[in-house]
Amino acid sequence: MCGIVGITSNKPVSVSIINSLRKLEYRGYDSAGIATLSNGFINEVKSEGRVEKLEKNIDTKNMIGSVGIGHVRWATHGVPNKINAHPHSSESVSVVHNGIIENSTNLKKNLVSIGHKFKSQTDTEVIVHLITELLKKNDLKESILKMLNQLEGSFALAIIFKDHPDLIVGARRGSPLAVGYGPNENYLGSDSYALKSMTNKISYLDDGDFCIVKKNHVEFFDNNGIKLNKKVLKLSSNEENYGKGDYKHYMAKEIDEQPITIKNCIKEYIDNINNDINIYNFPWKINDISSVTLIGCGTAYHSCLMAKYWIEELSSLDVNIDIASEFRYRKNRFKKDNLYIFVSQSGETADTYAALDICNKNKMKTASIVNVIESSIARDSNFVLPIHCGPEVGVASTKAFIGQMLVLYILILKISYLRKEIDKNLYIKKIKALKELPELVEKTLLTESKIQSISGTFTEAKGSMFLGRGFSYSIALEGALKLKELSYVHAEGYPAGEMKHGPLALIEDGIPVVVLAPRDEYYKKTISNMQEVIARGAKVLLITNKSKEEIFSENIWEKIEVENTSNDLFPFLITIPIQKLAYYAALKKGYDIDKPRNLAKSVTVE
């Protein structure tokens, strides 16, 4: 989704801006642009498509400005083309914007009535005209304050000014924005990834704040223009390794990394010697929690659904799950003894953040499970459990899904043990089983060649289905989501037992159906449902576990057998083939696997 970079320095900044925009490519975008100030002029270059294309259009020898802003845009208002790409500029200001200005139509009407001419279809352009107008009668700070007061919606902004050639103004409401500090230069970025290659010292703007960034000095203000002091935070590492290594795509690398990321996560939470789980600084007494609500979007929501089954299996806690975009607008009944858990890889998903904010405003107990520990969701929840899986660049979430499930499982195990709902023997047995997971996942990755050879059937079909029950149900949903987001073929995840209530009508000769049926307590029932779809012509790919026991069903098209583990850990293993299936299906079609069309890594608009 949209990303912002700003740099004010004593040397030309265009090359560094382009490099930072590259770091933001993972977010998903459809156009890019840059503007710098040189010799009293705003020099703007934009292009549709990738940063690579933008770079080709820039004459860096002549774009010598030492103050500049850059942007990657994910279209909301107006088609993705060069005109709608950011920055948007007048003769005196240039603006980049993440978010949505909800009252742009009214603002535009007023501005047009006093003679302003608009070039693009974007909501952002009103900011350019508004600030240009305000600067005619007010000084810089007053103009900013007056402009911010008129804007409705959510935004992060970076603005440069012809008449103030030494500074960038940043402002935040809803969408995140950070300031970075470097030697003789300072930066603005929509997230810490954008800044990590230049600095590890950053401050975050809070909602309503704005800032004036000069090369040796940064000032922060609240929404009344009162000066603020901001903490300078140190990022965990100066430059993380985002390379693809020998892989063609980040997604392939991230799937194959899972044995290591699971191992790393287990190392963080499990005391190997005592076979115990360490969750430090949990801020509440265990008996003060009698129910749990888990909230997320997309893949993160699927990990919440998985957690519901584990909570019900291991404890007597009441549990609800919710899609963040629904939760935030519903009339919720808030309960003091409820723990609200927010699950998000990026920690910046607008809907999940809004749901967290509502819970915080109602003084609820909030915890988050995130990958990016500097993110807004991590910073604003009472308690954070990181998933420790390293940067996930591919838009399709893979290792973060496994990481989210893993941390949720670990948390549930610990809580159930503290609540005395599982005894010490079972607790230790489950911890020991968990420690075997990296090796089992490693072995399951070896099913790859089979998946590769059958993936074509899924891309040629007009659609497919993924079925599962119990622990396998959320993996069925995840399998369908992965396949459709990468291969652009319709796929539906369904509880196997629900097929006869409607979707069975979709089954016809040759339609591929993935049946997830490890030999757990749901196995026999799922196999019966499998027979029902086979009888109607479906080509079934059965994903089960290795066993000497025969499968009582004829005409199974293909079978993949994962390793053996305890019933509640099968979800980790059966996830591997469905991830690989989506990857190879997209590869067959030649699509942009790491950046599927219309999607973004970090969904910062609602």
Residues in 456-515 at the binding interface with ligand M6R, rule: CB under 6 A? 481, 485
Which residue minimizes CB distance to ligand M6R?
A: 298
* Dihedral (Cα; 384, 385, 389, 392), 10-degree rounding: -40
Query: Among the options 2, 211, 265, 297, which is catalytic?
Result: 2
What's at 315, amino acid-wise?
A: S
Q: Roughly how many angstroms between the first and final C-alpha of the chain, as a whole number?
A: 11
Burial class (CB in 10 A: 0-12, 13-18, 19+), 556: middle
Q: In this complex, which beta carbon is closest to ligand M6R, that of residue 55 or of residue 351?
A: 351
- DSSP-H helix ranges across 419-472: 424-435, 437-444, 448-460
Least distance (Å) between residue 508 CB and ligand M6R: 28
Residues in 292-331 at the binding interface with ligand M6R, rule: CB under 6 A? 297-300
Separation in Å, CA 584 to CA 167, 192, 578: 48, 32, 10
Does the protein bind ligand M6R through residue 349 (CB under 6 A)?
Answer: yes
Q: What six digits make up the tokens of 240?
A: 């993380």
Q: In this complex, which beta carbon is closest to ligand M6R, that of residue 189 or of residue 394?
A: 394
Least distance (Å) between residue 337 CB and ligand M6R: 26
> How many chain residues bind ligand M6R (CB under 6 A)?
16
Q: With beta carbons less than 8 A apart as the criterion, state whether 70 and 44 touch.
A: no
Among 177, 576, 581, 603, the residue binding ligand M6R under the rule CB under 6 A is: 603
DSSP 331-391: -----TTEEEEEEESSS--HHHHHHHHHHHHTT-EEEEEES-TTSHHHHHSSEEEE-----
What's at 117, amino acid-wise?
A: K
Does the protein bind ligand M6R through residue 574 (CB under 6 A)?
Answer: no
Residue 55: other Cβ atoms inside 10 A: 19
* Dihedral (Cα; 369, 373, 376, 380), 10-degree rounding: 70
Concerning whether 2 is annotated as a catalytic residue, the answer is: yes
Classified as helix, coil or strand, 395 is: coil
Least distance (Å) between residue 323 CB and ligand M6R: 10
Q: In this complex, which beta carbon is closest to ligand M6R, that of residue 222 or of residue 606?
A: 606
Among 104, 192, 332, 345, the residue binding ligand M6R under the rule CB under 6 A is: 345
Site map 376..395 versus ligand M6R, x via CB under 6 A = -------------------x
Residue 276: other Cβ atoms inside 10 A: 15
Among 270, 355, 396, 506, the residue binding ligand M6R under the rule CB under 6 A is: 396
Residue with tokens 């909230």: 295
Least distance (Å) between residue 2 CB and ligand M6R: 15
Please name the residues in contact with 480: beta carbons below 8 A apart, sequence gap of 6 or more: 464, 465, 466, 491, 492, 493
Does the protein bind ligand M6R through residue 352 (CB under 6 A)?
Answer: yes
Which of 65, 71, 72 lies closest to 8, judged by CA?
A: 65
- Contact range with ligand M6R by CB under 6 A, out of 268-276, 338-346, 378-386, 554-562: 338-346
What is the Cβ-side half-sphere exposure of residue 124, based on CA atoms within 13 angstroms?
30
Least distance (Å) between residue 405 CB and ligand M6R: 12
DSSP state of 91: S
Does the protein bind ligand M6R through residue 575 (CB under 6 A)?
Answer: no
Strand boundaries in 88-152, DSSP class E: 88-89, 93-101
Least distance (Å) between residue 489 CB and ligand M6R: 15
Among 89, 143, 199, 346, the residue binding ligand M6R under the rule CB under 6 A is: 346
Among 154, 175, 190, 397, the residue binding ligand M6R under the rule CB under 6 A is: 397
Least distance (Å) between residue 485 CB and ligand M6R: 6
Q: In this complex, which beta carbon is closest to ligand M6R, that of residue 130 or of residue 574?
A: 574
**Residues at the contact surface with ligand M6R, assessed by CB under 6 A:** 297-300, 344-346, 349, 352, 395-397, 481, 485, 599, 603
The catalytic residue positions are 2, 601
